[in-house]
Amino acid sequence: MNLSFSRFGIFSAAAMLLSLAAVHTLRAQGGGNAAPPATPKASAPIDLTGYWVAIVTEDWRWRMVTPARGDYASIPITPAARAVGDAWDPAKDEAAGEQCKSYGAPAVMRNPERLHITWQDDNTLKVETDAGTQTRLLHFGNWKAPQGPATWQGDSVALWETPTPPGGANARPQTPAKSGDLKVVTTHIRPGYLRKNGVPYSASTVLTEYWDLATERHLSAAFNGQQWITITTVVEDPEYLQVPWITSLHFRKEADGAKWYPQPCSARW
Return the range that interacts with another protein (CB under 8 A); candidates 97-105, 118-126, 133-141, 180-188.
180-188
| Half-sphere exposure for 233 (CA within 13 Å, toward CB) | 19
* 245 and 194 Cβ atoms separated by less than 8 Å: yes
CB 48 within 8 A of CB 211: yes
Q: How far is the CB of 69 from another protein (least distance, A)?
A: 5
- Out of 65, 95, 96, 145, which residue is the one contacting another protein (CB under 8 A)? 65
Amino acid at 181: D
- The yes or no reply on residue 269 touching another protein (CB under 8 A) is yes
Binding-site member from 113, 186, 201, 253 for another protein (CB under 8 A)? 113
For the CA atoms of 158, 161, 165, 167, the dihedral, rounded to the nearest 10 degrees, stands at 70
Residue 92 binds to another protein (criterion: CB under 8 A): no
**List 39, 53, 119, 159, residue binding another protein (CB under 8 A):** 53
CA atoms 191, 261, 255, 227: torsion sign: positive
What's phi and psi for 24, nearest 5 deg?
A: -60, -45
Sole window of 8-16, 33-41, 91-99, 120-128 interacting with another protein (rule: CB under 8 A):
8-16
Would you say 1 or 146 has its CB closer to another protein? 1
Is 211 in contact with 199 (CB distance < 8 Å)?
A: no
Paired residues of 235 in beta bridges: 207, 245
CB of residue 87 to another protein, shortest distance in Å? 12
Q: Which of residues 192-211 bind another protein (CB under 8 A)?
A: 210
**Burial zone of 27 (CB within 10 Å; 0-12 exposed, 13-18 middle, 19+ buried):** middle
Which of 108, 249, 265, 267 touches another protein (CB under 8 A)? 249
Window 26 to 45, contacts with another protein (CB under 8 A): 45
Tell me the closest approach of the beta carbon of residue 171 to another protein, in angstroms. Answer: 10
Which lies closer to another protein via its Cβ, residue 22 or residue 145?
A: 22
